[in-house]
Structure 1
Amino acid sequence: MNNQYLFDRSFGYSRHDVLKTTETSRLVYALQPNDAIFEHASEPKRPVAHASGVNTIVIDKFEGRYLLSGGADSSIAIWDLESRLDSEDTYKPLISADRTSDEHKLGITQLSFYPFDSLAFLSSSYDHTLKLFSSETLEASASFNLDSVVYTHALSPIASHLLVACGTQHPAVRLVDLRSGASTHSLAGHSGAILSVAWSPVCEHILASGATDGSVRFWDIRRGSAELGVLDMEDSFGTMPQRSKTRGGFPNSKAHSGPVNGIVWTEDGRHLITTSHDERIRVWNTDTGANTLVNFGPTVRNTHLAPLVPILAPTALLPLEKDILFYPNEREILMYELFEGKMLRRMRRLNQPGVVTSNATHAMGQRNTLDRVTALAWRAHDVELYSAHSDGSITAWTPRTEEDARLDDEEEEREEEETGHKRKRGVLEDIYQELTKRKITFGGLGL
């Protein structure tokens, strides 16, 4: 098959990147949990990254090497993804700050590396603060008290400005300027707590936000009246509601019928994906504001106020218009074709050794939240996915290679042979026992 792709490319029958995307997309479809364990030094008897659960993870986009994780107990750790010993299959943190730290008093809600330098990162917390840390020392160099629970924050990946958009319990998006160290202004328009914010990947001044009121709003931070528009789930034609001159604002259109706790842009900025407690995933055309009406089926689950942000596989790995969405769905990860809503896989991991799960919960017919997937991160420059879990563990998902399949087949053959030998041995033992127990007579005399 590869020879055919090379032939077609050499004669101009296909694009030059067809062979590459065919191979890389095959790897994306073949992701499976590997045996690596993220083990914190303070929990030697339990192979977990954070004792009280992992709330958020992020991987630097420069080298794609360092993973940053934040715990429900306010702990923070940095992991070198290239430091695993093959003989041990275990990651140890490069540096960590446990829950006795003086920095954050409550659980971490979001982490993000500095946009142009992975030597610094931002963290937000339920303790009302946004902090700037050094990645080398885990010491905070700046702290901002927003006087409200900070559910999420976002830095623009392309902007020259250093504004951090923060979503809090207050019904307005807060903008913090890292240069001046002050909260510059607020973006008012929502009527509920802000659970999700995301900057455009192509326009440095455009921001999207979602709130508990079910609305998703667009903002241009350069304008005095910053609000650009609001999405409407009933609008499939792209007539985004305009600002009312008489009332001085936008109508109360809803993108979802429940709180919106996840927003992500596609790489080209042409589409926006939103998730909500109404257990719907919606895809929007950002040029017109139209609901594309992609149906992802009835499997989607979403019940927590914490951010639940899906991620997209890099488009460079995939054929044109075949974007893939990964959605953290309770105890599994759902893989979808983005523009068709077709479910491709339900990705589940086996129970890790030493990780406690609740059998009692299953027995009572209730959801087991101990193993819930809380966050996802894609490793730049590789075909690797990482998931954070509320049981304190972090799981690495890597492609199932032909070598893995061959080894599995050999293992199955070995097990079948051993089973066959055991079965034969059991039959012989039964025959032997039957013969030794049977009474044998000679010449009519019982012996």
Structure 2
Amino acid sequence: MLGFLSGRRAGLDDPLRLRRAESTRRILSLELNPDRDVERIHGNGVNTIDIEVIEGRYMLSGGADGVIVIYDLENFSGKPHYTCKAICTVGRSSRYVHKFSVETVQWYPHDTGMFVSSSFDKTMKVWDTETLKPAEVFQFEGNVYCHHMSPIARKHSLIAVGTKEPKIQLCDLKSGSRIHVLQGHRGEVLSVCWSPRYEHILATASADSRVRVWDVRRAAGSLFTLDQHNGDKSKAASEAVNTTHDGRVNGLCFSGDGLFLLTTGTDNRMRLWNSATGENTLVNYGKVSNESRKGLKFTVSGGCSPEFVFVPCGSSVAVYALHTGKLVTMLRGHYNNVDCCEFHPNYQELYSGGKDCNILAWVPVLRGPDIEEETRVLKKDAAARHSSGNPAFEDAWSSDED
């Protein structure tokens, strides 16, 4: 790392390289933080968490008890050991609380004054953060498994909603009504995700073993369905044709640049797809344990190279290299199954929630050997640059006597 600093100071390295290298180093040194606790509020499992991107300071959580909590992640105590306090709670005593399990919570992408939650009580609620009262309530015919708002949309304010019905509902925040239905799946919709690259592109995953990609501006059906065999008839002959996984598909996540789409299924497989063509890249992640009957909330790192994937696997969080499929490490600390995790790109931290009712913070740790290694690399790098005759390191001093 000191070598990158030296190169940046001399103008030989792009500053972005330093940022990516440091982000990558921090992710590779993630450990359970003994000095940071998250206040335990939920009386049952934590199903979903979300960190707002405006300040990167406030975190939402939703639990199987129907409770929604807002945490402040900042440390103002001046001490290394501190607890992230719950500053607001929609608890069981509130008349507006969800009656059953909260499956998804999400901050409004452009303002912390609003957030959205969906639940097994067949409702999705749009909340005013200040008053903790719902400004809008959408009713559905079946349990709501998931919802998602586009992180980049400027031309629409649609929320995609997946329910027990095979239809994807599109709800408009501006009009407060359901304006469109996407039909094509044959089973319950377990996960939905908008592209972070194109605001009209939506991916949906279902219990029918398929993932469909849609352009919501089109009146026709989906753009394409992801096929694990890439259209190879010989491989698909003895198996279900045109399926994304051999079991229920319960997890979706785009890469940070939106060029790739990750899917997880109950066949214990995770697959990486080209989001533009729908081609299976055939990256082998090995066995990714997945027994969830509902949606699986996993996440991808941002601002580093290479990118990493954080996936709940039993009572641990598995960390994979996105493009090689290599298992980097397993983060162990929960006492029961992990249901969700969320990456904090500002500080390269990870938060995970599970059935043990806990939210754990995983933070980068810099060890002594790392510093020694960086010092060694700096010396080697400096010697190499001096010997290469780079003008930036040449001695321009001269003497009148010469």
Q: For this structure pair, what is the TM-score category when the shorter chain's length is used for normalisation?
A: 0.7 to 0.9
CA shift, 1:53, in A, is 1.6
| 1:423-438 matches, cutoff 5 A | none
Cα distance per residue 1:303-332 (max 9 Å; x no partner): 112211321111x2x23xx11111111111
SS of the residue aligned with 1:106? coil
Residue type of the partner of 2:92?
R
Report the equivalent of 1:25.
24
Report the equivalent of 2:2.
2
SS of the residue aligned with 1:118? coil
Residue type of the partner of 1:89?
Y
2:57 maps to 1:62: no
Residue type of the partner of 1:61?
V
**Structure 1 residue runs of 4+, over 4 Å off?**
403-406
SS of the residue aligned with 1:288? coil
CA shift, 1:226, in A, is 3.8
CA distance in 1, matches of 2:231, 2:69: 44
| 1:245-284 matches, cutoff 5 A | 253-284=242-273
Cα distance per residue 1:375-405 (max 9 Å; x no partner): 1112242121100111111001111123799
Q: Retained in 2: the 8 A contact 1:326–1:335?
A: yes
Report the equivalent of 1:98.
91
Q: Retained in 2: the 8 A contact 1:333–1:346?
A: yes
Point out where structure 2 has 5 or more consecutive residues left out of the alignment: 233-239, 372-402
Residues 157, 4 of structure 1: CA spacing in aligned structure 2 closer, same or farther, 3 A cutoff?
Answer: closer
CA distance in 1, matches of 2:179, 2:94: 29
Residues 297, 96 of structure 1: CA spacing in aligned structure 2 closer, same or farther, 3 A cutoff?
Answer: same
Q: Retained in 1: the 8 A contact 2:104–2:117?
A: yes
1:133 to 124, 127, 131: 127
CA shift, 1:296, in A, is 0.6
| 1:132-281 matches, cutoff 5 A | 132-160=126-154, 161-235=156-230, 253-281=242-270
2:360 maps to 1:395: yes
Residues 77, 133 of structure 1: CA spacing in aligned structure 2 closer, same or farther, 3 A cutoff?
Answer: same
Give the greater-gyration-radius structure (CA).
1
Task: Give the TM-score of the pair, scaled to structure 1.
Answer: 0.76
CA distance in 1, matches of 2:93, 2:294: 23
Report the equivalent of 1:76.
68
CA distance in 2, matches of 1:375, 1:271: 21
CA distance in 2, matches of 1:18, 1:222: 38
CA shift, 1:137, in A, is 2.5
CA distance in 2, matches of 1:292, 1:24: 25
CA distance in 2, matches of 1:376, 1:4: 31
SS of the residue aligned with 1:218? strand
Residue type of the partner of 2:219?
G
CA distance in 1, matches of 2:369, 2:122: 47
Residue type of the partner of 1:81?
L
RMSD (Å), alpha carbons: 2.2
Q: Retained in 2: the 8 A contact 1:324–1:336?
A: yes
Report the equivalent of 2:375.
none
CA distance in 2, matches of 1:185, 1:118: 27
CA distance in 2, matches of 1:273, 1:149: 24
- Number of equivalences: 360
CA distance in 2, matches of 1:291, 1:212: 19
Q: Retained in 1: the 8 A contact 2:259–2:275?
A: yes
2:296 to 293, 304, 308: 308
2:35 maps to 1:49: no
CA shift, 1:20, in A, is 3.0
Residues 312, 100 of structure 1: CA spacing in aligned structure 2 closer, same or farther, 3 A cutoff?
Answer: same
CA shift, 1:28, in A, is 0.9
CA distance in 2, matches of 1:302, 1:285: 23
Q: Retained in 1: the 8 A contact 2:256–2:301?
A: no
Q: Retained in 1: the 8 A contact 2:52–2:109?
A: no
Q: Retained in 2: the 8 A contact 1:77–1:95?
A: yes
Over the matched positions of the two proteins, sequence identity in percent amounts to 38
SS of the residue aligned with 1:57? strand
Q: Retained in 2: the 8 A contact 1:2–1:19?
A: no
Report the equivalent of 1:385.
350
CA distance in 1, matches of 2:344, 2:326: 24
Residue type of the partner of 2:310?
F
CA distance in 2, matches of 1:405, 1:235: 43
Residue type of the partner of 2:128?
S
Residue type of the partner of 1:6?
S
CA shift, 1:185, in A, is 1.6
